[in-house]
Amino acid sequence: MRLSDLKTGESAVIVKILGHGAFRKRVMEMGFVKGRKITALLAAPLRDPVKYRLMNYEVSLRRTEASLIEVMPINVSSVKEDNRPEKDAGSHLAFASDHTMVDDGALDEHSHGEFVGRRHTINVALIGNPNCGKTSLFNIASGAKEHVGNYSGVTVDSKTGTFRHGGYTFNIVDLPGTYSLSAYSPEERYVRTYLKDHNPDVIVNVVDASNLERNLYLTTELIDMDHSMVIALNMYDELRRSGAVLDYEALGNMIGVPVVPTVSRTGEGVDRLFDTIIQVYEGKNPVVRHVHVKLSQDLEKSLSEIKDALKRDKTINQQFCARYLGIKLLERDAEIEELVRESKKADELLALRNRQLEYLERHNPGEDISSLIADDKYGFISGALAETMKQPQEQAVSTTHILDAFVTSRLFGFPLFLCVMAFIFWFTFFIGAYPADWIQEGIDWLAAFVKENMAPGPLKDLLANGVIGGVGGVIVFLPNIMILFFFISFMEDSGYMARAAFIMDKLMHKIGLHGKSFIPLVMGFGCNVPAVMACRAIESRSSKIITVLITPFMSCSARLPVYVLLIGTFFSAHAALVFLGMYLLGAVVAMVTARMLRRFFFKVDETPFVMELPPYRVPTMKTSLRHMWWKGKQYLQKMGGIILVASVIVWALDYFPLGNADDPSRDSYLESVGKTVQPVMEPLGCSWQGTVAIVAGIPAKEIVVSTLGVLYTGSDEATDQALSTRLTALNPATGEPDFTPAAALAFMIFILLYCPCLATVVAIVKETGHWGYGAFTIFYNTAVAWILAFAAYRIMLLF
């Protein structure tokens, strides 16, 4: 709990000080140290401030200040009179196992153990630029399996993990990648809000050692914030390979922040990093000191006056350091201005800021103040690196430059991208067919075993037709899905995904977007939900909304079983071509939709295309296989969850009422539903079974094939046949097969384009902030799906 939560008359023991800079130093000098007993005496008539007793003297704190002190309440029954133990009346302090002084008698044995445990809990926030290896470090430290990608926007939300090291428990938070702590992008706002609301014990600033000058700009802003911090000099192996030599210890001494080289890909230096975090947390690291990132004389003069005024206003500078607030006010940061307006002296502070801006503009005509501050900070960085880093005399031509000469060229860029995608689809279909056939054989054997060894009845029918026919019909495509995710992971980790966005920028610009929108669209090939969430990295709101709305047209892996089933059944001779065609059709529909939305609903967006092109890196097989296995595990969990339940429901609706066995003219519940909706789908060549599968696929597209598996498993003979064989069998009622090549193509197009799964709709509503966009996606996508499926069916009939 926080000290501000302590009620009058209650006592507690101080666990840690969460504030920063001058506040932290001031209260510690006044005796607010770990292990001290503190008692709430009384509150002022307006409940603020509050008077406390500490070390036999009284002190008052505002509740905003008290909220930055973490305490542990004392069990009153365990407290001895006068806080003095009977055996030694002269002793006031006892040492905890970690050498922290605790007021003697304040805690019983159980509470003392809890105090030590909480003292040994360190809250750590990982902050750094995109592509700096934060999530890799998070994974290797906490054992989590978050996806790691070599491009901006992989971490679109914070992730938490816990692990133990050196007798301490670390609560680690992996925050989104950000280039600064302004309020320009959603990531910047998210990180800054987190620091304001949660105030971590130690910040780990993860820095890409191969790109120090750019990465250290964020470091200067964190220094301005005056938080406890450690720098993880990540990817240090790349710095060594480049031939550069960095005296990182001298750099740390220069900026007052300990620097630890790490290679999160292999785990090198991670133990030393967390040992250093413990030292900083305990206040035992000799390097730590607060250093001002010096600005020009004019800027420092103006900043000094604003900073002094902010320090006098205790209602503001508890959340952020006064120097940081002053710099952001000079930069006209909108969110910081809103924070200042909460003060009673807001008009006075903003007027002072405006006078200082006028002064700076007079002395620096034609210059933007934010640019002046950035120039000074980069000057500080350049000076620090000039003192501590030696570059190799000859700069070798990097592998990245050589590869980019081909990958991003006008001649080879597009053909190479199409060839890569075609190869991925070919490999997914043909190589994945072998393990898929082995799984199919196992499912057929299991179904035959149930048929032969169980007595007739509903239970036998449920197991053979519902469970094995439904779940087995989908699980057979697990190898295809895992192969697809392996390649997507490989492209992301290697840095090729960012190049794909680069070469697609001009095409994306023609539809009213820019290359940054291309990454969520490619991610949509895996799953639409994280792809929609990845749109947070797009700064322009109109571009973000358009990208969110067109992302469901990207063919996710849940649709893959439908393609594998029907393409393998009807178009096996041209499987790779049809496969690629389905994915391209989704992309074309997305582009046309984006163009229409930009033209009729959203104003022209001139947001510049600014995106980092990270160096190429060879992904480790371990990382790619781990990502593939993780996605495969999620798919298997769906098999045992939503798909199993859906398969049983579909079986029950198809099996009942039992009277239809005696009365062939009486339809099952499921057939009744299918025939009710059938008039809408009949122009597409869709049977009632296909219509039911489409309706069942609204919650999750994986259910489509499992529904077909249940519906087309009727007789004992049919159970022994593969689902593809059952689809092409003659329907006794019509004398023709339910699925023909024309009907199969129309069915795939409809599944590709119609309303996305419920999870994607929820993600769309969440990311756009309005339910109307979710409703638009449902109705618009379904209408487009029907029109194009109808056109494809009629054209196919002509041939």
Which are the contacts of 552, defined by CB distance < 8 A and separation ≥ 6? Answer: 524, 528, 532, 755, 756, 760, 764, 777, 781
631: pLDDT strictly greater than 60: yes
Peptide bond into 657 cis (omega under 30): yes
Question: What is residue 151's predicted lDDT score, i.e. its pLDDT?
Answer: 45
**Higher confidence at residue 484 or residue 215?**
215
Which region holds residue 228: left if phi is over 0, alpha if psi is between -120 and 50, else beta? beta
**Higher confidence at residue 112 or residue 590?**
590
Which are the contacts of 376, defined by CB distance < 8 A and separation ≥ 6? Answer: 293, 294, 295, 296, 299
For the record, the structure tokens of 304 come out as: 């000094």
663: pLDDT strictly greater than 70: no
Phi, psi angles (nearest 5°) of residue 124? -120, 135
At 170, the pLDDT band (50, 70, 90 cuts) reads very high
pLDDT, tens only, 222-276: 999 888 899 999 989 888 888 889 999 999 999 999 999 999 878 899 999 999 9
Question: What is residue 91's predicted lDDT score, i.e. its pLDDT?
Answer: 41
Decide: 528 and 498 in contact? Cβ < 8 Å.
no
- Give, to the nearest 10 degrees, the angle between helix 478-494 and helix 432-453: 150
589: pLDDT strictly greater than 90: yes
Decide: 467 and 443 in contact? Cβ < 8 Å.
no
717: pLDDT strictly greater than 60: no
Phi, psi angles (nearest 5°) of residue 11? -120, 160
pLDDT, tens only, 112-163: 666 666 678 899 999 998 878 888 888 887 776 555 554 455 555 678 888 8
Please report where in the chains the tokens 């393998």 appear, as a residue: 568
**Strands 159-165, 50-54: parallel, antiparallel or unpaired by DSSP?**
unpaired
204: pLDDT strictly greater than 70: yes
283: pLDDT strictly greater than 50: yes
Q: Classify 710 as helix, strand or coil.
A: helix
Report the distance separating Cα 385 and Cα 368, nearest Å.
26
pLDDT, tens only, 752-794: 999 988 778 888 888 888 899 999 999 999 999 999 999 999 9
Identity of the amino acid at 560: L
**Higher confidence at residue 476 or residue 324?**
324
Report the distance separating Cα 259 and Cα 477, nearest Å.
48
Question: What is residue 137's predicted lDDT score, i.e. its pLDDT?
Answer: 87
The average pLDDT across 349-377 equals 89
661: pLDDT strictly greater than 60: no
**Cα–Cα nearest to 17, from 232, 199, 222, 221:** 199
**Higher confidence at residue 504 or residue 378?**
378
Question: What is residue 744's predicted lDDT score, i.e. its pLDDT?
Answer: 94
Q: Which of 73-87, 261-275, 431-445 has the lowest mean pLDDT?
A: 73-87
Q: Which of 175-179, 230-234, 489-493 has the lowest mean pLDDT?
A: 489-493
Phi, psi angles (nearest 5°) of residue 394? -115, 120
The average pLDDT across 164-187 equals 84
- DSSP codes joined into one string, 266-283: TTBTHHHHHHHHHHHHTT
The average pLDDT across 104-110 equals 59
At 85, the pLDDT band (50, 70, 90 cuts) reads very low
Q: In terms of pTM, does the model score above 0.75?
A: no
**Cα–Cα nearest to 220, from 262, 182, 261:** 182
- Nearest-Å Rg of the Cα atoms of the chain is 32
The average pLDDT across 652-670 equals 64
List, in sequence order, every beta strand (DSSP E) within 388-522: 389-390
Question: What is residue 799's predicted lDDT score, i.e. its pLDDT?
Answer: 78
In this structure, is the dihedral angle defined by the CA atoms of residues 523, 155, 501 and 412, taken in order, positive or negative? negative
Report the distance separating Cα 616 and Cα 10, nearest Å.
59
pLDDT, tens only, 12-35: 888 888 766 666 777 777 778 777
Question: What is residue 419's predicted lDDT score, i.e. its pLDDT?
Answer: 85
3-state helix, strand, coil in the chain (%, to 5): 60, 10, 30
Percentage above 70 pLDDT, the chain: 84
The average pLDDT across 90-110 equals 54
Provide the terminal-to-terminal Cα distance of the chain, rounded to the nearest Å: 74
Question: What is residue 79's predicted lDDT score, i.e. its pLDDT?
Answer: 41
User: What mean pLDDT, rounded, does the chain reach?
Assistant: 80
Question: What is residue 88's predicted lDDT score, i.e. its pLDDT?
Answer: 40
**Higher confidence at residue 103 or residue 94?**
103
Question: What is residue 78's predicted lDDT score, i.e. its pLDDT?
Answer: 43
Report the distance separating Cα 254 and Cα 245, nearest Å.
17
Percentage above 90 pLDDT, the chain: 19
Question: What is residue 658's predicted lDDT score, i.e. its pLDDT?
Answer: 59
User: What H or E segment, with its residue span, contains residue 447?
Assistant: helix 432-453
The average pLDDT across 607-611 equals 54
Q: Which of 56-65, 550-559, 598-607 has the lowest mean pLDDT?
A: 598-607
**Higher confidence at residue 448 or residue 103?**
448
pLDDT, tens only, 394-416: 555 567 778 887 887 878 888 88
574: pLDDT strictly greater than 90: no
Question: What is residue 156's predicted lDDT score, i.e. its pLDDT?
Answer: 53
Q: 782: how many CB neighbours lie within 10 A of its CB?
A: 17
